[in-house]
Amino acid sequence: MLPVLRNRTYRHLFAAQVVALTGTGLATVALGLLAYDLAGPRAGSVLGTALAIKMVAYVAVAPAVGALAHRLPRRALMAGSDLARAAVALSLPFVDRVWQVYLLVFLLQAASAAFTPTFQAVIPDVLPDERDYTRALSLSRLAYDLESLFSPALAAALLAVTTYDRLFLGTVAGFLASAVLVLSAAVPRPAADTAAAGAGRHAGHAHTRAAAGMRLLLAAPPLRALLLLNLAVAAAGSLVAVNTVVYVRDLLGRGTGDVALALGAYGAGSMAVALALPRLLDRVPDRTVMLRGGAALAAVLAAAGALTAAAPGPWRWPALLAAWAALGAAGSAVLTPAGRLVRRAVPAGRRTEAFAAQFSLSHAGWLLTYPLAGWVGATAGLTAAAAALGVLAAGSALAAAALWCPAAEPSPEPSADAAGEPARPGPRPEPAPVPADDGAGRLHRLLAARHGH
């Protein structure tokens, strides 16, 4: 994976992603503790609502950004989003009302919804070779995972010497550093951008272009299956993001530092899979890896429900860590190869639209699962929340497997010929036309998560 860091532009963009994610990770821990201070045992419902508002921002803003991005310099758009996020994060330490949490979360994530799809669309233009791009996807997943592992550990160390509200200042520093790194990178123009501008190919209002990006995704069976698998990831990730603080503080009676450790276990599992995937994807089809990851998510959620309902005992803390690590590993198996599917199925000149639509539609799933995890957990208990999310993940994984038949698997682009020289991939086919009555109203994606978190 590391050879791609020799590309200066990618190296600066990757560093920007890492520092921004670290700051976001500190905010994630601090936000959970802030919710617990404001709502006590009902912190899960507060977090669930706040994160649902975050998804509303993603679903509403990302398609519009994808539709308008061709009119804006991509480097300026990403740096401006970073500065906006830093300004919002600077306000978070002064929050003392639940409604203020909701407002600032919306503003923060609206800026993230502008940054992330643009970043995702830039990387294939920076690294056009299939193998390099696969390594970049794994590094990106690894960045999310390291953030899930490192940020909670850093937060736990800082919480030993300061109060949680000071963690938000680390978020501000991360976004400012990200803006500087983005401005220092030579971001290329979108592929086929000049030709498209001359032909007026993308003329039309923003909502028309946003709908066109969604149709690009819904035209290909693997991308439709990806949306369903994203829903399974959202079901598992929501249990972790929303209810970890309740599991650790109330169910197990442990301290604030153990909240960070539990989140770190989730990141460790995800990181282990991200490190293994580049070699594995050279031998195993994306479909096999992703569908097995979706099935594993449902199985581990069932185990989490059993853990919650079991009799108290010292074994439940290590069992929770193991379950969270397994959820992170299965989620990484789904999310890491996702960019490969979009890249292969969508023409180069339309990737910004497609990545924005994928970002928006996938996050619609989190819009459902975040409040489900919070509200069901607060009213019916953690066992009921795990069971409901497990049923949702199982149904999504089964539907994805039925929809994505082996014949629909995109053919990988060769990255090198027999002599070891870069291959020249042929033109990518345009996606199949979508029937006029084919709707785009499907559930979306998180961390991430994390990961606009």
Total Cβ atoms within 10 A of residue 222: 24
Do 118 and 352 contact (CB within 8 A), yes or no? Answer: yes
One pLDDT digit (tens) per residue for the chain, 453 residues: 567 788 888 889 888 888 887 777 777 677 767 777 776 666 667 767 777 777 777 777 766 766 666 667 888 888 998 999 899 888 887 877 778 878 887 888 788 878 877 887 788 888 888 778 777 877 776 676 566 556 666 766 776 677 777 778 888 888 999 999 999 888 877 655 433 443 344 444 445 555 666 777 777 788 889 989 999 999 999 999 888 888 888 888 888 778 878 888 888 888 888 788 888 888 888 899 999 999 999 999 999 988 888 888 889 999 999 999 999 999 989 988 888 888 777 776 676 677 767 777 777 788 788 888 888 888 888 899 999 999 999 999 999 999 887 765 555 544 433 333 333 344 333 333 333 333 333 333 333 333 334
Radius of gyration of the chain (CA): 21
Query: How far is residue 194's CA from residue 117's CA, in Å, rounded to a whole number?
Result: 20
C-alpha to C-alpha distance for 250 and 241, rounded to whole angstroms: 15
Rounded to a whole number of angstroms, the distance between the first and last alpha carbons of the chain is 23
CA angle 254, 255, 257 (to 5 degrees): 125
Domains of the chain, CATH where assigned: 2-189+206-408 (1.20.1250.20)
The CA angle 373-379-383, to the nearest 5 degrees, is 60
Torsion over CA of 81, 83, 86 and 87, rounded to 10 degrees? -110
Cα distances (angstroms) measured from residue 90 to each of 52, 101, 108 = 22, 13, 11
The neighbour count for residue 26, using CB atoms within 10 Å, is: 28
* DSSP per-residue string spanning 164-231: GGGHHHHHHHHHHHHHHHHHTS-PPPPTTHHHHHHHTTT-S-HHHHHHHHHHHHHTSHHHHHHHHHHH
The encoded tokens of residue 237 equal 């990730």
By the 8 A CB rule, do 226 and 358 touch?
Answer: yes
Pure H helices in 284-420: 286-309, 316-335, 338-345, 351-380, 382-403
Reading the block at residue 60, the tokens are 């509403």
Cα–Cα dist 380/365, whole Å? 21
Q: 5: exposed, middle or buried (C-beta count within 10 Å: 0-12, 13-18, 19+)?
A: middle
CA distance 182 to 10: 10
Residue 404 token pair: 């994505």
Residue-level pLDDT at 393:
95
Q: Which residues in 110-141 are b (16+ Cβ under 10 Å) and which e?
A: bbbbbbbbbbbbbbbbbbebbbbbbbbbbbbb
DSSP assigned state of 424: -
**For residue 151, what are its two tokens?**
């940020």
Distance of CA 212 to the CA centre of its chain: 22
CA 408 to chain centre: 24
- Specify whether the CB–CB gap between 390 and 305 falls below 8 A: yes
